[in-house]
Chains A and B, each alone.
Chain A
């Protein structure tokens, strides 16, 4: 089954303790992205990756890191989590297109609910 898999689904951690949220897709998609979803703010893009070893900042990258060493994986790293990073996080992937082909839209993961105390 084609899917985007995030782990863990739920995580409670303490301020300052480094954590990694994993994201893996089995569709050979070039493009992957991380979003956080907060009430009243919708989805805000944290980082995205156009392909292996190519990453760039989204709208709210502060406090986060990413890496793209393999096509299928795009982990989100919080080096020193703080309470304002408590949120619902979504990973998404898509086929990459050029200007001649329409965007296919995202496939989303199930989400990771992170609480930082």
Chain B
């Protein structure tokens, strides 16, 4: 069975401070990991995929297979980063099941 854990329901940081949103997963095979963001009253949007190793809006995430983690990081938080963030996992190359974590609400304090 695959599982995604986001241990923090709420993360509050001051503007300009570093951000790290934690995501841990369990899956016996080769996973693909994603981060999605949901701004207030908007639909979920894909933020980034581990396979592309890209940086979107200053966010990065590195897949650590040893620690089974995919934490989302940003060096300097902005007010517009306040949103719900969801980590998601799917089997590599497959769609049989896409599992989301319970989400972390990021609150950036001005």
A interface vs B, CB < 8 Å?
31, 33, 35, 40-45, 48, 50, 56, 58-59, 90, 92, 94, 96-111
* Pairs of residues from A and B, 4 with the lowest C-beta to C-beta distance, nearest first: A99-B93, A42-B102, A102-B51, A105-B46
A residues in contact with B32, CB < 8 Å: 102-103
Prevailing SS type, chain B contact patch: loop
For B98, what are the chain A residues with a Cβ–Cβ distance below 8 Å? 33, 45, 48, 106
Residues of B contacting A59 in the complex (Cβ-Cβ under 8 angstroms): 97, 99
| B44 within 8 Å of A (CB atoms) | yes
B43-74 at interface with A (beta carbon < 8 Å): 43-46, 49, 51-52
In the complex, which residue of chain B has the Cβ closest to the Cβ of A33? B98
Question: Which residues in B have some Cβ–Cβ distance to A below 8 Å?
Answer: 6, 9, 32, 34, 36, 42-46, 49, 51-52, 86, 90, 92-103
Main secondary structure of the interface of A (DSSP, over half): loop
- Given known A-B contacts A42-B102, A108-B44, A103 and B90 have beta carbons under 8 A apart: yes
Return A105 CB to nearest CB of chain B, in Å.
4
Q: How far is the CA of A33 from the CA of B97 in the complex (A)?
A: 10
For residue A95, give the distance in angstroms from its CB to the closest CB of chain B.
Answer: 10
18 A-B pairs besides A92-B44, A103-B49 with CB distance below 8 A are: A33-B95, A42-B6, A42-B86, A43-B86, A43-B100, A43-B103, A44-B100, A48-B97, A50-B95, A58-B97, A97-B93, A102-B93, A103-B34, A103-B92, A104-B49, A107-B46, A108-B43, A110-B42
